[in-house]
Structure 1
Amino acid sequence: MSVTENVDVALVSPHYLAGGGDPAWITAGLHRGCGWSAHPDPLVPRVVLTSPENGAVLRLGPDPEGPWWALQHAPVDRRRAWSVSFGARTPVEIIAGFTDALTDPATAQAPAPDPYEPLRQAGWLEGHDHDGLTSPDGLAHIEHFTHGFTDCWFARTAVSEDPEGLIWRAYLSGDTPAHLITGFTRALADEAPLPRDPYPLRVPLNARRQARVTTMQLASAAVGLALERRVTALANRSKQPVPAPMPPMTPPPRPTR
Structure 2
Amino acid sequence: MPSAAPVLVQPLRLAGPGDRRLVTGPLTALHGWSSTRTPEGAIRFTSPCRTAALSMDGDGGSPVAWTVHGYTRPGAEPLWRASFSSGTPAEITAAFTTVLAAGLHSRHYDYPPGTPASVLAARGWVPDRESRRGFHDQLSPDGWALYRHRLGHQPHEEEVAGLVPATWTMLAGTPRFPSWHAEFTAGVPFPPLVSAALAFSDPGPVLRPTGEVPTRHRAFVTVLRDSSGGRPPGPPRLAEASAAHLPLSRPAPTARRR
TM above 0.5, one fold? yes
Q: CA RMSD in A?
A: 3.0
Structure 2 partner of 1:186:
198
* Structure 1 CA distance for aligned equivalents of residues 41 and 217 of structure 2: 27
Pair 1:126 & 2:148 matched: no
Pair 1:153 & 2:168 matched: yes
Q: Structure 1: 5+ residue runs without aligned partners?
A: 1-6, 235-257
Alpha-carbon distance, 1:121 to partner: 1.3
Q: TM-score with structure 2 length normalisation?
A: 0.72
* Structure 2 CA distance for aligned equivalents of residues 218 and 71 of structure 1: 35
Asked if the contact 2:50–2:73 (Cα under 8 Å) also holds between the matched residues in 1, the reply is no
After superposition, what is the alpha-carbon deviation per residue over 1:30-84, rounded to whole angstroms, capped at 9, x for unaligned? 111211001147x975321101111111011129xxx81101111259xx71110
User: For 1:54-203, what aligned pairs fall within 5 Å after superposition?
Assistant: 54-62=50-58, 68-75=65-72, 81-105=79-103, 107-110=108-111, 112-130=113-131, 131-149=136-154, 152-158=167-173, 160=174, 163=177, 166-198=178-210, 201-203=211-213
Structure 2 partner of 1:10:
7
In our comparison, the structure showing a higher alpha carbon Rg is 1
Alpha-carbon distance, 1:98 to partner: 0.8
What is the identity percentage for the equivalent residue pairs of Structure 1 and Structure 2?
26
Q: Structure 2: 5+ residue runs without aligned partners?
A: 156-165, 238-258
Q: TM-score with structure 1 length normalisation?
A: 0.72
Q: 1:38 aligns with which of 30, 35, 40?
A: 35
How many residue pairs match? The answer is 210
* Structure 1 CA distance for aligned equivalents of residues 220 and 112 of structure 2: 37
Q: Which secondary structure state, in structure 1, belongs to the residue aligned with residue 72 of structure 2? A: coil
Q: Which secondary structure state, in structure 2, belongs to the residue aligned with residue 109 of structure 1? A: coil
* Structure 2 CA distance for aligned equivalents of residues 153 and 71 of structure 1: 14
